[in-house]
Amino acid sequence: MAESQYTIANDAKRCVKCGLCVAFCPIPGVLEVGPDGHPAVVDEAACVGCQTCSGNCPKRALTVEAIGDATFDPYADEERARPLAKERQEHLGKLQRSIMESLGLRWQPVAVSLIKADELLPEAPMPTENLRFCQAMMAARRGASILMPPFRHSCPDGTSIFGMTGVPEKLATGEIYVLFHKVVDAEAAARMVAERPTLAPKSRRATYVAPLAKTVREPDVVVFTGTPEQMMWLCMSMSYYDGHRFDFAASGFNSMCVEAVLLPMERNEPNITFGCYGCRAATDIGEDMMFMGVPTDRLETIAQGAAELAKKAIPDSRNKIYVEPIM
């Protein structure tokens, strides 16, 4: 019989019996929900040490520790994707600098790619600790490039909504949001879940985020961080040429994964988000900051429109030209 290379332990005092760890384990038969509702270790020797279970435990109740020098590194010998052509990378860098200068943005726009199941991974660093997707996003706006397969994610919502795993039943029904007091009852939870997009299970293998100027992949979506005033100018820069009004969807649930990334991807339209309880609790997002995800093909229009607005409209507005002088 094979020997265990990892030990799995559950802190029953912390564990709320949500079952997410069991649902997220990619190796059948390692964990199951025990008769007392806590996770039970059935076949420890089959555990590969990926930490998808412990990383996605909302209470940090589960731990997986290597026995000896066992390590989990499934991509060590895998070929990586060719990076974006140099000219395209330089062009995206120019767009980033132009938009940031025109609007006075403090934070770098973040290029987001959801790597499909049949695609090669880009050459980019993986974090040594599990992170929430929103934490990776906030690090990317400061300059970090981060590649995260599902076993490096630590938000069960983001991990499953992005199609890197299946969706555990308690997330699919919304039951978990009642358990954590995020909605009043099962009906409200079910509606919230039904109104958000979710990618097909196992359709994606990793998320990749990087500052737009540094991305090595053509992004699916670009996410801007800014004040409400800067978001207004982003809208106006896109409306500058066609007068289009936007129809945004925001809820305070699943801000970065759904509202900033999946909705712009699915609708091919920009979307704003105010952040959610998860990303505001897990990152240093300022109270005065919000976000907008835009499809990549809008960047040219934004850069051109913002440059036009920066000639007169933006400085006039910031100089409060219509405010009466105080007598």
Which residues of the chain form contacts with ligand SF4 (CB under 6 A)?
Answer: 8, 10, 15-21, 25, 27, 30-31, 39, 47-53, 57, 59, 61-62, 64
Contact 126, 205 (CB under 8 A): no
Minimum CB–partner distance for residue 65 and ligand SF4 (Å): 10
Minimum CB–partner distance for residue 179 and ligand SF4 (Å): 9
Q: Which residue has the tokens 């395209």?
A: 88
- Based on CB atoms, which residue is closest to ligand SF4, 17 or 97? 17
Minimum CB–partner distance for residue 125 and ligand SF4 (Å): 21
- Based on CB atoms, which residue is closest to ligand SF4, 36 or 123? 36
- Based on CB atoms, which residue is closest to ligand SF4, 52 or 273? 52
Handedness of CA 66, 67, 69, 74 (dihedral sign): negative
Minimum CB–partner distance for residue 141 and ligand SF4 (Å): 29
- Based on CB atoms, which residue is closest to ligand SF4, 50 or 261? 50
Minimum CB–partner distance for residue 31 and ligand SF4 (Å): 5
Across the chain, the runs of DSSP E, i.e. the strands, are 6-10, 31-33, 39-41, 62-66, 110-116, 146-148, 204-211, 221-226, 271-273, 290-295
User: C-alpha 42: how far from its chain's center?
Assistant: 32
- Based on CB atoms, which residue is closest to ligand SF4, 20 or 114? 20
* Eight-state DSSP code of residue 280: H
Amino acid identity, position 4: S
113: exposed, middle or buried (Cβ count in 10 Å: 0-12, 13-18, 19+): buried
- Based on CB atoms, which residue is closest to ligand SF4, 18 or 103? 18
Minimum CB–partner distance for residue 73 and ligand SF4 (Å): 13
Q: Which residues contact 205 (CB under 8 A, 6 or more apart)?
A: 115, 116, 117, 119, 121, 149, 150, 164
Minimum CB–partner distance for residue 49 and ligand SF4 (Å): 5
- Based on CB atoms, which residue is closest to ligand SF4, 155 or 222? 155
Query: 273-294: buried (b, 16+ CB within 10 Å) or exposed (e) per residue?
Result: bebbebbbebbebeeebbbbbb
Contact 283, 139 (CB under 8 A): no
Residues 251, 228: Cα–Cα separation, whole Å: 16
